[in-house]
Amino acid sequence: MRKILSYILPLFIVGCATTGDVTSFSSAEDTGNLHEKERRLWHEAAGFDATIERSDQIYNNRQATVYLQGVMDRLYPEFKGKIQVRIYDSTELNAFALPNGSIYFNIGLLSRMENEAQLAAVMAHEATHFIEKHSFKQRVSTKNSAAFALSGIPFANLAAASSISGFSQDLEREADAKGYARLVKSGYNPREAHKIFQYLADEVEALGVEEPYFFSSHPQLVDRIDEFKRLSANYKGRGRVGSKSYNRIMTPIRLDTLRKDIGQDRYKSIILVMEDSKKRRYYPAAGYFYLGEAYVRRDEKGDMDKALKAYKKAAKHSPNFAPTYKRLGMYYMKNGDKTKARYNFKLYLSLAPKNARDRAYVQQYMNSL
Amino acid sequence: MKKVLALITLALLTGGCAQTAYWTLTDDMNRVVQSKSFQMTVPDGWVRTTKADTWERIEIDGEPQTILLESMAVTRDGTSLHAITVTRHYTHTAFPVIKKKSRGNMLPNEVADLYVSELRKRSGLERLKVLSNKPTKVNGKPAFELVMQFKNEDGLRIRIVSYGFVDKTGFYTINYRAPYLYYYKRDYKQFTSVVRSFKQLKGANDPPPEMPAWAKLFT
């Protein structure tokens, strides 16, 4: 798992022990009996939690947070109250666990997953890192020079640095195997598990970039997909998939992720998702608007025509989504079609909230026509 | 080692670089800050750069790059705390990190959207929030007025107000950045008077300068 904290936080622990001395948690009660060195690790993790909260990086969606916590509690009822799931306001495809049981899911990753079983697969993996004390084990069993080199990085760089290192392959495999076993035991369909990793592998390849995807680098991601396929090949059950509830809750988050993606110029990611009918089916129709925006940002030959088509689709399938009409109005205004420009601006002004950010611009453009 | 020293010396001798910019206290005699492309009147009793920075090193796709620009700064308490900066980006490097050029026919809200993306990507501040985005005029040209904010690791709210516009000569911004607590409100009026005093000069129409030889060594 690609998380810098697993490396940084243990630096505060001095001295060595052997991995064999580290016993995993079996229930929430165990977390009351921490070794002194572990307690310090927890303290640092709590500090990181506080920093995330103070700096406004928690994504506030109570319904989704409660839902995620519910899935975690269903997976690990014996750790209820000790493993806390939060949503991290980042569109990068990532999730990470802190040594104190705080588990963060980025909105980018939540948007890409398709059902509760996929969510549960990642959750079980993350929770295993906490339950098996992987951060602590890694610290006491290795002398990782990279960890020391990274220890001085400021907080602002942590998110980026989190892509640099992960747990050792052995610990990752343990998280895979134990997470998988828990997924099955909790009644989820394990055949969904490999799919989320397949989507991530597709994205890594299509975008041609290295992002802080969880589950380490590309070849390992492929190995992991094969391993999950192998594990679930003999599964005969009819486990829970949970598509309906998951997608109902994630719909507004998906739209928000598209908005934030365009706000960071991550247009490639939007095009990848919205051009693919299989991926797109989980996104609301207003997503076509962001596809149009993504084409405008890419600005290659023919992209303006593609953008116009996407805006028109957004208007057709999501007729009450105001930003589409602002964009159409701007397009027609620039191309000298005042009648259509006025029509679309008028629609925007009638649909957009009174405090909409672009209202003043649209009003001004209307007046100029 | 000798090569490194030679490069540093060359860079310093070439002039116009950030390291050689120096500060002067403003008073009645030197409140007008002038660069090749623009001028503005800054508050009395502040400190300002005496000449424009003409280049900047930034990271684009993880690689350090040199871009040319004109930028001047004025501050009352030090740039790490609060500052007003005026920058002209040339059309080809108007939004260098997101790799977008400016075009004279861009609408102000299109420019504002690109600028916010540029800031987010450049700073890594995904959490930079746009509080308001309104049309306005700067030097008689259609412009945007953006109010943005983020919280730093200590939970301190940092506010950024940006005025910006594009024309055929490039992309111009006038920024004010300060902690919302105390400093922002204290000097906001001074900032608006700087914005009102902003004027483009004839030099703005000159062709962009060539990338200096020393910069090519780094790029």
Residues near A307 by Cβ (< 8 Å), separated by ≥ 6? Answer: A291, A292, A293, A295, A296, A331
Q: What is the DSSP string of B133-193?
A: EEEEEETTEEEEEEEEEEE-TT--EEEEEEEEEEETTEEEEEEEEEEIIIIIHHHHHHHHH
- First-residue to last-residue Cα distance in chain A: 55
What pLDDT is recorded for position A166? 59
**Cross-chain Cβ contact A360/B134 below 8 Å:** yes
Length of chain B: 219
Query: Is the model more confident about B82 or about A221?
Result: B82
* A275, burial (CB in 10 Å: exposed 0-12, middle 13-18, buried 19+): middle
Give the minimum alpha-carbon distance from B68 to chain A in angstroms, rounded to a whole number.
Answer: 22
Asked if A157 reaches chain B (Cβ–Cβ under 8 Å), the answer is yes
Over the Cα atoms of chain A, what is R_g?
Answer: 23
What pLDDT is recorded for position B3? 54
- Give the pLDDT confidence of A315-352 residue by residue, as tens digits: 999 999 999 999 999 999 999 999 999 999 999 999 99
Q: Where are the domains of chain B?
A: 2-218
> Phi and psi of B158, rounded to 5°?
-110, 125
Residue from the list A55, A260, A299 with its beta carbon closest to the beta carbon of B153: A55
> Phi and psi of A265, rounded to 5°?
65, 25
For B151, name the nearest residue in chain A, comparing CA atoms only: A55
Give the minimum alpha-carbon distance from B78 to chain A in angstroms, rounded to a whole number.
Answer: 21
> What is the maximum span of chain A, computed from C-alpha positions, in angstroms?
76
Among left, alpha and beta (phi > 0; psi -120 to 50; other), residue B43 is: beta
- Give the pLDDT confidence of A190-233 residue by residue, as tens digits: 999 999 888 888 777 777 765 455 554 445 778 888 888 988 88
What pLDDT is recorded for position A237? 81
Residue type, A135: S
Helix (H) or strand (E) holding B26: none
Residue type, A59: Y
Q: What CATH code would you report for B2-218?
A: 3.40.1000.10
Residue from the list A90, A155, A330 with its beta carbon closest to the beta carbon of B126: A90
Confidence of residue A146 (pLDDT cuts 50, 70, 90): very low
Asked if B104 reaches chain A (Cβ–Cβ under 8 Å), the answer is no
Statement: residue A144 has pLDDT above 70: no
DSSP code, position A155: G
Confidence of residue A255 (pLDDT cuts 50, 70, 90): very high
A193-207 helix and A267-274 helix, angle to the nearest 10 degrees: 130
Residues near B183 by Cβ (< 8 Å), separated by ≥ 6? Answer: B77, B81, B82
Collect all residues of chain A within an 8 Å Cβ-Cβ radius of residue B116.
263
Helix (H) or strand (E) holding A321: none
Contact present, A103 and A85 (Cβ < 8 Å)? yes
Regarding beta strands B141-151 and B83-89, do their DSSP bridges make them parallel or antiparallel, or are they unpaired?
unpaired
Confidence of residue B98 (pLDDT cuts 50, 70, 90): very high
What pLDDT is recorded for position A4? 36
Binding-face residues of B in 39-78 toward A, CB within 8 A: none
Asked if B28 reaches chain A (Cβ–Cβ under 8 Å), the answer is no
- Give the pLDDT confidence of A270-319 residue by residue, as tens digits: 999 999 998 899 999 999 999 999 999 999 999 999 999 999 999 999 99
Q: What is the DSSP string of A14-69?
A: -S---GGG-PPP-SGGGGGS--HHHHHHHHHHHHHHHHHHHTT-B---HHHHHHHH
Regarding beta strands A102-106 and A84-88, do their DSSP bridges make them parallel or antiparallel, or are they unpaired?
parallel
Give me the helices (H) in A95-165, please.
Answer: 107-112, 116-131, 134-141, 145-150, 158-161
Regarding beta strands B170-179 and B38-41, do their DSSP bridges make them parallel or antiparallel, or are they unpaired?
unpaired
The count of CB pairs under 8 A between chains A and B is 67
Say how far apart CA B114 and CA B106 lie, in whole Å.
11
- Give the pLDDT confidence of A94-114 residue by residue, as tens digits: 888 999 999 999 999 999 999
Asked if B137 reaches chain A (Cβ–Cβ under 8 Å), the answer is no
Query: Is the model more confident about B11 or about B156?
Result: B156
The interface predicted TM-score (ipTM) is 0.85
What pLDDT is recorded for position A16? 36
Say how far apart CA A249 and CA A252 lie, in whole Å.
7
Of B6-10, B101-105, B208-212, which gets the smallest average pLDDT?
B6-10
Beta-ladder partners of B74: B48, B84
Residue from the list A89, A155, A157 with its beta carbon closest to the beta carbon of B127: A89
**Cross-chain Cβ contact B107/A330 below 8 Å:** yes
Contact present, A123 and A94 (Cβ < 8 Å)? no
Residue from the list A55, A297, A360 with its beta carbon closest to the beta carbon of B127: A55
Say how far apart CA A191 and CA A173 lie, in whole Å.
18
User: In terms of Cα–Cα distance, which of A52, A68, A149 is closest to A100?
Assistant: A52
Say how far apart CA B170 and CA B94 lie, in whole Å.
7
Collect all residues of chain B within an 8 Å Cβ-Cβ radius of residue A57.
127
For B130, name the nearest residue in chain A, comparing CA atoms only: A357
A169-185 helix and A134-141 helix, angle to the nearest 10 degrees: 160
Quick one: tokens of B157?
């709210």
**Cross-chain Cβ contact B117/A265 below 8 Å:** yes
DSSP code, position A132: T
**Cross-chain Cβ contact B117/A262 below 8 Å:** yes
Q: Across all residues in chain A, what is the average pLDDT?
A: 84
Task: Mutation target for A interface from B114, B133, B153, B154: give the one with most A CBs within 10 A.
Answer: B153
Statement: residue A3 has pLDDT above 70: no
For A267, name the nearest residue in chain B, comparing CA atoms only: B98
Residue owning tokens 């997953």 = A113
Contact present, A65 and A86 (Cβ < 8 Å)? yes
Asked if A335 reaches chain B (Cβ–Cβ under 8 Å), the answer is no
Confidence of residue B218 (pLDDT cuts 50, 70, 90): low
